[in-house]
Amino acid sequence: MADGRVERGNQTRRTVLGRTTEIASVDGLEGLSLGKIATDLGLSKSGVFALFGSKEDLQLATVRAAAEVFVEQVVRPVRAEPAGIAKVWLLCERWLGYSARRVFPGGCFFYAVSAEFDARPGPVRDEIAGARSDWTRYVERLLDEARLAGGFREGAGAEQVPQVAFEIIALMELANAHSVLHADPVAYERAGRGILDRLRALSAAPEELPERPDAAGYTV
């Protein structure tokens, strides 16, 4: 009986967080309300309140749940690929597709909530900042693995890694912002072209990269 209650509680938690990640990507984390979510999902308010003791707890759990979705959609599918510039491109392509497909209705979850909390100190800001730092470090890691595998052109060294990571993340986030605001899927193709140009200029074997991104993969 105890196991059954625990599993029901876990299922309710997953249901609630599935909804809160959707809401927060559009209305922000401040738009979350335990009572409203309980009503929306047809759950008892007391049950939802028992799972999340406060609005801040709910916000933190929502950020962590979104990070899990992000890893499943963007990071995990390319983990087994061999190190190289081509792997970096595959990662970027997964990110562009994740945003374009509206895995979260508001586009990239972390882009949406970062602007909301970037100047507000506290645990929620720290959680968002940590997730974004993890993502930047992961892009840098794949670039450095490509370098160590001989993927950089002659003359390009480790000092290039942070700059290139910054540039390609900026292109992806601009595509997300432009597409969400203007409902313009072409932004993803433009970002893809820019990322490919940057990676091709860095690569010791640019012919291993596609000439252009697959626009069909960026349908909204």
User: At residue 1, does pLDDT exceed 70?
Assistant: no
User: Confidence band (pLDDT; 50, 70, 90) for 215?
Assistant: confident
Is residue 120 scored above 80 in pLDDT?
Answer: yes
Radius of gyration from C-alpha coordinates of the chain: 20
pLDDT at site 87: 98
Q: Which domains does the chain have, with CATH numbers?
A: 55-218 (1.10.357.10)
For residue 7, pLDDT over 80 is answered with no
Tell me the residue ranges of DSSP E strands in the chain: none
Place of tokens 């939802």: 48
DSSP states of 106-169: TS-HHHHHHHHHTT--SHHHHHHHHHHHHHHHHHHHHHHHHHHTT-BPTT--TTHHHHHHHHHH
Q: Which residues contact 182 (CB under 8 A, 6 or more apart)?
A: none
Using one digit for the tens of pLDDT, what is the confidence trace for 14-72? Answer: 999 999 999 999 999 999 988 889 888 888 888 888 889 889 999 999 999 999 999 99
Cβ contact 16:95 at 8 Å = no
Residues 6+ apart with CB under 8 A from 81: 87, 90
Mean pLDDT, the chain, whole residue set: 93
Q: What is the pLDDT of residue 10?
A: 82
Q: Residue 5 has what pLDDT?
A: 66
pLDDT, one tens digit per residue, over 135-146 is 999 999 999 999
**pLDDT tens digits, residue range 147-201?**
999 999 999 999 999 999 999 999 999 999 999 999 998 999 999 999 999 999 9
d(CA 102, CA 111): 13
- Tokens matching residue 18: 């599935």
Q: What is the pTM of this model?
A: 0.93
Identify the pLDDT of residue 2.
55
pLDDT at 219 over 70: no
Percent of the chain residues topping a pLDDT of 90 = 81
Distance of alpha carbon 17 from alpha carbon 24, whole angstroms: 10
- What sign does the CA torsion over 209, 133, 182, 22 have? positive
